[in-house]
Structure 1
Amino acid sequence: MASILIIDDEVAIATAFAMFFRHDGQHTVAEAYTGADGIAAFERLRPDLVLLDVRLPDMTGFDVLAAIREHNPVVVMVTAYGDVPMAVDALHKGAENFLTKPVDLSHLKAAAERALEKAQLRRLSRWLSDKRGAEKGLVFGSTPPMRELQAQLQLLAASDRTTALILGESGAGKGRVAELLHAQSPRAGKPFVEVNCATLRAESLDSELFGVEAGSEYGVTRAGAFEIADGGTIFLDEIADLEPSLQPKLVRVLEGKGFRRVGGREEITPNVRVIAASSVDLQAAVAAGRFREDLYYRLAVMPIHLPPLRQRTREDLLELIAAVQDALLPSLPGAPTALTDEALDAILRYNWPGNIRELRNVLERAMLMARGLPAVDVLHLPREVANAAGGDVSHHEPRSLAEVERAHIDRTLRAHAHNRAHAAKELGISRATLIKKIREYELTDRQK
């Protein structure tokens, strides 16, 4: 539930705003009628949003803003005496928005929602800062689904002879999970050998996995991955690409039987734990006849499903961001780990089709580009990530606040066929203020 503090000396207005926000049951609201009381209430409550009047009986709203600014508050200033220079000054001093009275309640609601989104980003940013440097796994988080995943992995790691199957999209962290399973198991002191089944042809993969015997076409005796990993773990990545001719051989090993090197006659029975991973649907591969059903069931004793980043919560993503930045920092001296609100918003909104691998690449590039600066900004992110926050920053056109306001008023007038009353209502200003703006900006106006 979001918290709002209203600081306004007009009790009727403060009460009306408070009733409006309390009505939906989504907000807790406190009121203060002087600057001093408002500062004290802010220190006591630390609200998500402050609605702050510019003119107060004991000080100005700008004085209040200066007094609380060190806490990085989200403030929307409200006044009956607003003009463009005052609005610009408010924004420069840290306000998120500037509204003029009388404020249309729908306009107030929209401004508050945007400001509360900003407050949530700042809260998440502080949470991210707190998490950075803490002990954590690379692919996990603290939400219940991720805790359950960690519990499954701990059980699987302890049962060091149980075959493990890790399922998830490319880049979701399957290799890292395999390493963690090995590192947390009784086999941790023995070899961890990784073989990618998608990178070798059948003949080469056969010798890579099972070795070759002297006198064969390879010439000299060479141990394969299963022998090298003896006592430890062998990780078979992209197991769906294992050639059909090699699948029966792997079934025999998983059944506790031995194998023969290429060109060999001696049967070798390895003491190896097998961890396999796949980014494709193995059950579909079985149904299509590309993967042996008995091999699938030998592997899928306790399948582990890694969710893609787009399905993870913001909290889990924040823990992952912190862990990736911690891992990158030693190789990027002078690079910032802090993220601006806009950069964090873009990262959290982006879909991450490449999952953890893509996230790591993006953060490494952004931290490198921002080296020497206090924080990574949205401009340091790739265009596709930056655009997730809304708006293509690579084509940003610098404009003053007055230019933006003039264009917005002009569009609103035209949208309402120059009906001043309707346009003023949408803009959240009085009809008199709108007329003043029309004259100030020399807008073409067909009076209605």
Structure 2
Amino acid sequence: MTRRSKHASSRPHCRSLSTPPPRGWVRHALADSVLLIDADADLLQALGEYLDGIGYEVAAAATSEAGFETFDRMRPDVVILDLHVSDVGGLNALEQLKTRGGSVILLTEQGESESAVRAMQLGAEHFLTKPVDLNHLAAATARVCEKVRLTHQNALLRARDQEHAGLESLGVSPAMRDLGRQVELLAASERSTVLLTGESGTGKGWVARVIHHLSPHASGPFVEVHCAGLTTTFLESELFGHEQGAFADAKERRQGLFELAHGGTILLDEIADLAPELQPKLLNLLETKTFRRAGGTRDITVDVRLVAATNRDLMAEVRAGRFREDLYGRLSLTALGLPAVRERSRDDRLALLTRIVADLAPQMPGCPSATSAEALDRLLSAPWPGNVREMRNVVERAMILARGVGQIGLEHLPGDLRKGGGGGAGGERRHQPQALAEVERIHIEKTLKFHGGNRTRAAQELGISRATLINKIKGYALDL
């Protein structure tokens, strides 16, 4: 923030501290971030200087729209929002911040108790009246940060439990149990780079998340990047960021995903498609833990674990001259191969099917999780060329079709599965994707309408990235 004065107490909209803030506030605030949204530049300056002085990372915005953009980029622990922010109104801004997952402290004027009560009903964590008492501000901010921290820690514990259970459901055969042990060992090995190989749909992304959640740095971010289908310039900007003016559309400095993943894990999916021009830059990052933004001159240091995934033979890509041998050598030091579903034992398939149903059931109330003996036999005997992803899609579709029936039967399975054929062969491969696509199209359309066409919120609810949602909207030609 731009600093103009160290004396916030001289401003009429703040009351000075009668005593210094407790040491605990400063200590806790070191890793906490605050976003201020207020049209009053003097108040932004005063509060920002104070919060920065006791150890918080502070960002400020003069309008709610600018605040939303900053929130999406920064993901702050606390938002301090003025009720009278002018462009959309404080209560509307509060609702939008809550849908984004924000924890909000509201600033009100004297005598606005009715609005304060309404704000608490809408989910505000606390409200403060102006002039702002800095003692109260420090206490409220510390309490909300502690609540956010505890919520995050509880979520991490639940995620760890789920990932441990997921590893157990990999299978019961010696080969799959050994794979589970290798995943746990890799997760515990701090920052070693991991290369995941296997056919499309074998669960490489899931294993990457397991490695992250079971690692000592599970509290850091997990960032997933798909390298395929992106231009070199765009992917470089996404991964490494850019400085203002680095290229025609670079109107401001932007952090890259490696910076945003600092302290956590980044998954580079489809690594074989990484542009040759970017491969030396990635190799340098792996060797030195530093990189430069596009157009930058300063080295940036990051502490991030890389997990790379591919469904191609990287050694063949090296021989063809499309992938650097030294980068391949660095990535393949610790490699894990995930078997196709058809290569797994029947008992392993049953464990996989059980996990899929257990994952889907809480999201699909009223849909059965039981399966008839005939349907179960077809599900376990199919070759599944689309692997785990295809099995999950078929099971989800069957659960939807069997809603209210009590169990999944043969009649709820697609194409050749009903006739005893392969899960993805012949007629089933022609018919099943169309049926699943129709279910997905309807679900996306309903979710978008529920959120008033807001693609960011719809993508969050659907559990996909905004870019993926936009591609699906185009693919289904949705008219919203």
Q: TM-score range by the shorter chain?
A: 0.5 to 0.7
Superposition deviation, residue 137 in structure 1: 3.3
Report the TM-score when normalising by structure 1.
0.56
1:236 is paired with a residue whose SS is strand
- 1:373 to 2:405 alignment: yes
Match of 2:264 in 1: 232
Residue 388 of structure 1 and its aligned partner are, at CA, apart by: 3.0
Query: % of aligned pairs identical?
Result: 51
Gaps spanning 5+ residues in structure 2: where?
1-163, 429-480
| 1:207 and 2:237 matched | yes
Q: Shift in Å at residue 385 of structure 1? A: 2.4
Instruction: Tell me which residue corresponds to 1:175.
Output: 205
- The offset of 1:258, in angstroms, is 1.8
Deviation at 1:135, TM superposition (A): 3.5
Describe the superposition over 1:124-179 as per-residue Cα deviations: whole angstroms up to 9, x where unpaired: xxxxxxxxxx9433861121101100111111111111000000111110000000
Question: Is 1:186–2:216 an aligned residue pair?
Answer: yes
Paired residue for 1:158?
188
Residue 337 of structure 1 pairs with residue 375 of structure 2: no
TM-score normalised by the chain length of structure 2: 0.52
Counterparts of 2:289 and 2:348, CA distance in 1: 42
Q: Is the 8 A contact 2:238 2:256 kept in 1?
A: yes
Residue 241 of structure 1: how far off its partner (Å): 0.2
Are 1:292 and 2:324 matched, yes or no?
Answer: yes
Q: Which has the higher contact order (CA 8 A, sep 6+)?
A: 1
Name the counterpart of 1:84: none
Number of the residue aligned with 1:18: none
- Partners of 1:219 and 1:211 in 2: CA distance: 12
**Greater radius of gyration (CA):** 1
Contact 2:289–2:303 (8 Å) recurs in 1 = no
Any unmatched runs of 5+ in structure 1?
1-133, 395-448
Match of 1:255, SS state, is helix
Instruction: Kindly provide the CA deviation profile for residues 226-246 of structure 1, in whole angstroms up to 9, marking residues without a partner as x.
Output: 100111111100000000000
Aligned-pair distance for 1:389?
5.3
Q: Is the 8 A contact 1:167 1:279 kept in 2?
A: yes
Letter of the 1:324 counterpart:
I
1:201-255 Cα shifts (integer Å, max 9, x gaps)? 1110000000011232212111001100111111100000000000000010111
Amino acid corresponding to residue 205 of structure 2 in structure 1: G
Question: Are positions 1:137 and 2:173 aligned together?
Answer: no
Q: Does the 8 Å contact 2:242/2:296 carry over to 1?
A: yes
Equivalent position amino acid for 1:212 in 2: H
Question: Equivalents in 2 of 1:334, 1:364: separation in Å?
Answer: 13
1:139–1:173: 8 Å Cα contact kept in structure 2?
Answer: no
Give 1:393-408 correspondences, 5 Å limit: none
Rate the CA distance shift 1:393–1:191 in 2: closer, same or farther, 3 A: closer
| Residues 168 and 177 in structure 2, CA contact (< 8 A), matched pair in contact too | no
* 2:277 alignment partner in structure 1: 245
Cα deviation, residue 180, structure 1: 0.3
User: How many residue pairs were aligned?
Assistant: 260
Q: Distance in 1 between matches of 2:388 and 2:418?
A: 17
SS in 1 for 2:288: coil
Q: Work out the CA distance in 1 between the residues paired with 2:212 and 2:288.
A: 20
Deviates more, 1:341-350 or 1:185-194: 341-350
Give the partner amino acid of 1:322. Answer: T
After TM superposition, give the deviation of residue 257 of structure 1 in Å. Answer: 4.5
